[in-house]
Amino acid sequence: MRVFNTLTRRKEDFVPRDAGRVSLYVCGPTVYNHIHIGNARTFLSFDVIRRYLTYRGFEVTFVQNVTDVDDKIINKANEEGRSAQEVAEEYTAAFIDAMHALDIADPTERPKATEAIPEMVAMIETLIEKGHAYAVDGDVYFSVRSFPEYGKLSGRDIDEMNAGARVEVDERKQDPLDFALWKSAKPGEPHWPSPWGEGRPGWHIECSAMSEDILGRTFDIHGGASDLIFPHHENELAQSEAALGVPFVRYWLHGGLLQVNAEKMSKSLGNFMLLRDVLGTYSAPVIRLFMLQTHYRSPLDFSTHRLDEATAAYERLENLVRNLRWVRSLAVCGAGVPGDARQALEIALERTRSKFDAEMDDDFNTAGALGAIFELAKAANSFLSEYQSDMCEDDRQVLLHAEELIVELLGVLGIEVEEADASEAQWPREVVALATELAGFEGDEPAEAVDKLLEARQIARAEKDWARADAVRDGLAGLGFTIEDTAQGPRVIYEPKG
């Protein structure tokens, strides 16, 4: 397995610290608002990475923090006249709900910054003792000059940065690039005790403290979006290595940014869409398919047009799984498919898995992996198309394997292929009235009513009474049923509306 490491700017063989185990840390959100679809992309990318590592047999410990103390949260609370804690709690819950709605698996641990204050204070004390940090009027700053390797992650040179005009000048800092480890609390702000007085942690220190606390030193993978490389991850790296004296992280993975009209989606640009709003129109599997068709490190342009395309692509997969199930479910046994044709499909199954694995082994190339799945879709569809009427037991067994493989591999990508047919228990009672009207149905069961309607339609079709046949189909369509005439007879699919 090879991964692209931001630190070395190369793909490297992935060798975890402890054989068979992977420690993974991904920066979570600052909870002052609902997350937008760009945030979601990053979390989705690492969800897939986590799922794939698990599929590959690694025992993955996945930690994602929640930043629940921060200037933005305080500002939001002030605007709304409530406490920072209330704001943080509301959006933490909303964040977790949104993750679930996108089928993103829960991390092993989801630590909150406010619950790790003592660990942060301890790390800051260590940094001061080692001469990497200094306290001024209740604030503590990290001394960038004390860490000669500062800039190695983002490929920057301190002196060139100093020359730039954009670095904030603060009289109390020894160097303009020094950043806050601890901020003294202003009245009304959340605060915790520390050796430097009441205050709160700076942004970067939480990840350093919590990752070490849970994952230990020199853990395997630290992830986030590429806009975190500088300054956030550069600062984390500097703090942790200065404090611990060992490498902080083995592999730094950074995802590409979501864009809108070729511009970064961000809250400051105002061009963002909330994940929860997108989920109102598009399902989680469709959003996932849309995003995973592009490599996680590449920029990805967001548009509803692209989501509509992904919807069509997803339906192709749904239809395939549905068709495989349909053909397998048929009771009659045909003449049997020629052995070489069946064997060819079996070989295609093996190739699909090996190609999927090879693509994912190569820096989590989900686009290539999806290509492998779609190639299998074509092979399976061709097989169905050619031999649908000939199937017998051995053939159905291969179809079952094909279905299981597709569901399994899509599952590694977190793309759920739903049971297309809702259970009969959910069928609307209105079909009873429809059956009574169009087919003289006298019973009370929706399932029986549908059978009666299908029967009536078949009779009408046999009599070439197309108007009557179509009235049944249209009537059922109005209730959410789709009728498809297959070589083996009509099939009904129910998908609740809305």
Partner RNA sequence: GGCGACGUGGCCAAGUGGCAAGGCAGGGGCCUGCAAAGCCCUUAUCCCCGGUUCGAAUCCGGGCGUCGCCUCCA
Q: Within positions 364 to 383, which residues make up the interface with RNA, using CB under 7 A? A: 365, 367-368, 370-371, 374-375, 377-378, 381-382
Q: CB of 263: closest distance to RNA in angstroms?
A: 4
User: For RNA, which residue of 18, 149, 198, 263 counts as binding (CB under 7 A)?
Assistant: 263
Q: Given the complex with RNA, which of 258 and 438 has the nearer CB atom?
A: 258
Q: Given the complex with RNA, which of 426 and 486 has the nearer CB atom?
A: 486
Structure tokens at 407: 């569901």
Footprint of RNA on 227-246 (CB under 7 A): 227-232
Closest listed residue to residue 50, CA positions, set 130, 109, 123, 114: 109
329 forms part of the interface with RNA (CB under 7 A): no
User: For RNA, which residue of 119, 178, 359, 395 counts as binding (CB under 7 A)?
Assistant: 359
267 forms part of the interface with RNA (CB under 7 A): yes
**DSSP 8-state class, residue 148:** T
Query: In the chain, what is the straight-line distance between the N-terminal and C-terminal CA atoms, in Å?
Result: 42
**What is the torsional sign of CA 291, 295, 296, 299?**
negative
Question: Please, what is the Cα angle at 24 between 18 and 27, to 5 degrees?
Answer: 155
Dihedral, CA of residue 288, residue 294, residue 296 and residue 297, to nearest 10: -160
Q: Applying CB under 7 A, what is the total number of residues that bind RNA?
A: 88
Footprint of RNA on 123-182 (CB under 7 A): 154-157, 160-161, 164, 166-168, 179
Q: CB of 129: closest distance to RNA in angstroms?
A: 25
Q: Given the complex with RNA, which of 199 and 231 has the nearer CB atom?
A: 231
Residue 430 phi/psi, 5° resolution?
A: -60, -20
Sketch the per residue contact string, 459 through 498, with RNA: x for CB under 7 A, - otherwise: --x----x--xx--x--------xxxxx------------
Footprint of RNA on 60-79 (CB under 7 A): 72
Choices 51-59, 102-110, 302-310, 335-343; region in contact with RNA by CB under 7 A = 302-310
- Cβ-contact 279, 262 below 8 angstroms: no
d(CA 466, CA 272): 50
Q: Given the complex with RNA, which of 425 and 467 has the nearer CB atom?
A: 467
DSSP 327-353: HHH-----S---HHHHHHHHHHHHHHH
Q: CB of 372: closest distance to RNA in angstroms?
A: 7
Q: Given the complex with RNA, which of 157 and 404 has the nearer CB atom?
A: 157
Q: Given the complex with RNA, which of 329 and 482 has the nearer CB atom?
A: 482
103-128: burial string, b at 16+ Cβ within 10 Å, e else: bbeebbebbbbbebbebbbebbbbbb
Sketch the per residue contact string, 37 through 56, with RNA: x for CB under 7 A, - otherwise: -xx-xx--------------
* 3 state DSSP class of 259: strand
Beta bridge partners of 494: 481
320 forms part of the interface with RNA (CB under 7 A): yes
- Cβ-contact 139, 182 below 8 angstroms: yes
